[in-house]
Structure 1
């Protein structure tokens, strides 16, 4: 693949990864993700449990969970009136892998 094609591919990768990059770029959302990663992916956590572990307000946690969910980084499981949030193991974070791989391939010629 020529350099121009590689750059176009990287540009597409950036565009496709934009929502995920914005979602995980925030320190507060990173702390929420770390809390969720420390739990069983199948079970998940409720907003109150995340609030306790992050020391954020309930509305703040809900706001950040919504952004992460819209970006495809986390999922929500509903049981009656309870919502459980967990990391989406098939998430769009894989797009970041593609981005890094394509950049790495592009830079190989310089090393």
Structure 2
């Protein structure tokens, strides 16, 4: 693959990652993700539990959870009238791995290993 083809691949990677990058780029959403990752609970957490751990308002937590869900970073499970949120293990975050891998290959090909 030549330089321009690699750059086009990286451009496509960025386009594919836009929703995820926007979702996880926000500091508040990062704190919510850390709460979800830090829990021992396999079933997920409810909005109230996330609110307690982040000290955010319920509406703020709900808003940020929606952004994370829309980006495919987290999932929601319904249990009766209760909603439980958890990290999507088959998440779109894998797209970031592809992006970083393609950038790394490009950097190695055109800038050598010294600058990486």
TM superposition score normalised by structure 1: 0.98
Q: Does 1:61 pair with 2:42? A: no
Q: Are 1:73 and 1:92, in contact at CA under 8 Å, matched by a contact in 2?
A: yes
TM superposition score normalised by structure 2: 0.94
RMSD: 0.8
* Deviation, structure 1 residue 96: 0.2
Q: Secondary structure at the match of 2:83?
A: strand
**Relative to structure 2, which stretch is displaced further, 36-45 or 91-100?**
36-45
* Deviation, structure 1 residue 2: 0.6
- Give 5+ residue unaligned stretches, structure 1: none
* Deviation, structure 1 residue 15: 0.1
Task: State the 4+ residue runs in structure 1 displaced beyond 4 angstroms.
Answer: none
* Deviation, structure 1 residue 95: 0.1
Q: How does 1:10-29 map to 2 (within 5 A)?
A: 10-29=10-29
How many pairs align?
A: 111
Output the CA distance in 1 between the equivalents of 2:4 and 2:106: 10
- Give 5+ residue unaligned stretches, structure 2: none
